[in-house]
Amino acid sequence: MPSCPHRLSATALAAALLLSSCSPEPDAGDSPESPGLTAEEQAAEELAERAEEITAAEERINQALAGPDENHRDAAAEIVSELSLDQMAGQVIVGEYHTTDSSEAAELVEQLHLAGMIVMGENVPTGEDGADLEQLATELERIQQAAEPRGYPALISVDQEGGLVTRIGQPLTEWPAPMAAGAAYLSESDAGPAAQAHRFMAQDLRELGFTATFAPPGDVTVGAADPTIGSRAFGADPEAVSMLAVQAARGLADAGLAGSVKHFPGHGSVTEDSHHTLPVQDADLEELQSRDWVPFAQSAEAGVPMVMMGHIEVPALQAGVPSSLSPAAYQALRDLGHDGVVVTDAMNMAAVLQHTGETHAAVQALAAGADLILMPADIQAAHAGILEAVEAGDLEHQRLTEAAERVVALMLWQQDLAAGDLHAGPGVEPPAELIDPGAEFFSPPPWTYPAPGNWTELAEASEAAETPTGQDLTRGELTAEEVTARLASASVTLVTGECGADLTDEGIQILGGTEQDRARLAAAAEAAGVPVGSGTVVTLLGGSTPGSGDVVVALDRPEVLAEASAETRIALYGRTEESFAALIEVLTGAEAPGMLPVEVGDHPLGHSAC
């Protein structure tokens, strides 16, 4: 299947078609179709019209997937104008609960008029085969029913990124870490696997009853010095992270789910974990604008429904204050062009609680510019605190109104998107302008969504790419299993060793990893006819401790390979069954196509031994 980072711009399309035109030489005189024009001029005019139709169709898709439009915002303003202060205070809070029974959560949504709830691992009921999806769907429906009287859905959310941050595992489709998409993108210049992976991920979640997920990460990792994000990032290259983050957000939306690019002002380049303390970002604004903020600026330009604000002190913006409580940080994000919801990272994290305590955090975040307060340490106290602050004049009523309007607009948009009432989304067929079987020289690949028209560098890269032919913008050609297998195969990276070498002549011995890791690799080996128990020693690394053997494989972040003792070192970026099948392919002699999305020791970003 040919691949391309984006479909060609309308201008490039017209040029390509003109250059490829096989129109017959005109007879003397004017073209009969259009008096005054030669046949060649008539063809050029038709091509220009075709380019305009394509541009308009792409703009409709982008607008539909980018977030609420003017109609949603107007409707939200009308709804919020009729809410009491008590109801508005609830509309800016997403709470949490601590059991698999959602009864208490549903009561809080009803009583406090909460925007919704987030589901964490502790909320997922389990059965013999992993997550009990039927029971989970029932629990989520109970929460949703509590919001029915208001006429628009509750925001039922989850952190589901793939890799380490997977709240709901099997029997849902498993996905490798986001960094796998980064390794594949550097190799193929194709953001399609990320787009499709997130579409299938969102499809699973929406069918369970979710309306939002706090993904994808827009963080640019600095590698080994980054203790928190690691393989949760798409990589260390700001432009690659930008493209992948936008395409991932588009994939989520295309399946009817609201996504959230996170964690502004960038958690990938600080050296402490905001779950435990307040990280300090010492970079100046120029460095932040050229690295950490690039994905957020391009996400704002493309349009995304939500951006998550992290808990990071940025002295260049406001010293001594977490970004989630800093007016300067929210203004910096708005200055990049984001006009959708800004949701805080979890407000029960140490970075916030150590700074301000749990009583006033929600009010401070709202006053600073937040629209949605995620997981306050005490939901009822946060709700009461917002009411008291407005009544005392410590929080402007208009600021609360603005936040509530953005949140309600988001939920109205998601409702329309999931129902197939917009120009893109579940069940919405691509416009005819983009799948015209008669367009011999233009047909979009099925992997990516239209890129914003003014991404100059990306458009130039697209125009330089080979024009795809014979493809349709269809959603039914591939299954989730095929996409995750493609992503695993495209990302596996040979960091050191001989490319294409068969290392399994005498079988393999498997060390390290978890019991499940070893079992999955053994199953993949046996399926490929590779004996297990003797031969090449393959050591699996799931953390940051170096290992040794004939072959050392990093299942998560690849930086651990820098200190590993092995002739052959491989980065896998995942622990799925498809990831281990891809590993066996490489061990039996296939070339590893992926490239490092981050530095590993002396090996630079983009390195591959193949």
Before 265, cis peptide (omega within 30)? yes
Q: Which of 27, 98, 275, 284 is catalytic?
A: 275
CB burial class (10 A; 0-12, 13-18, 19+) of residue 398? exposed
- Count of CB atoms situated within 10 Å of the CB of 470: 9
Q: What secondary structure does DSSP assign to 370-411, as a single string?
A: -SBEES-SSHHHHHHHHHHHHHHTSS-HHHHHHHHHHHHHHH
Which residues lie closer than 8 Å to 128 by C-beta, 6 or more apart? Answer: none
CA dihedral (413, 416, 418, 424) positive or negative: negative
CB 277 within 8 A of CB 215: no
Question: Checking DSSP bridges between strand 261-264 and strand 306-309, what pairing results, if any?
Answer: parallel
Q: Which of 159, 190, 292, 345 is catalytic?
A: 345
Left, alpha or beta for 210 (phi > 0: left; psi -120 to 50: alpha)? beta
Q: Which two tokens mark 370? A: 């937040």
CB 92 within 8 A of CB 361: no
Instruction: Look up 607 and say whether it is catalytic.
Output: no
Nearest residue to 189 (alpha-carbon basis) of 15, 447, 441, 9? 447
Q: Which two tokens mark 401? A: 């109104």
At 247, is the secondary structure helix, strand, or coil? helix
Q: Residue 31 and residue 421: Cα distance in Å, rounded?
A: 43
- Eight-class DSSP state of 603: B
Q: Residue 241 and residue 224: Cα distance in Å, rounded?
A: 17
Q: Which two tokens mark 586? A: 């490489």
Q: Which two tokens mark 540? A: 């699996």
Q: What secondary structure does DSSP assign to 460-511, as a single string?
A: HHHHHSPPP-S----SSSS-HHHHHHHHHHHH-EEEES-TT-B--TT-EEEE
Instruction: Look up 275 and say whether it is catalytic.
Output: yes
- Residues with a catalytic annotation lie at 275, 345
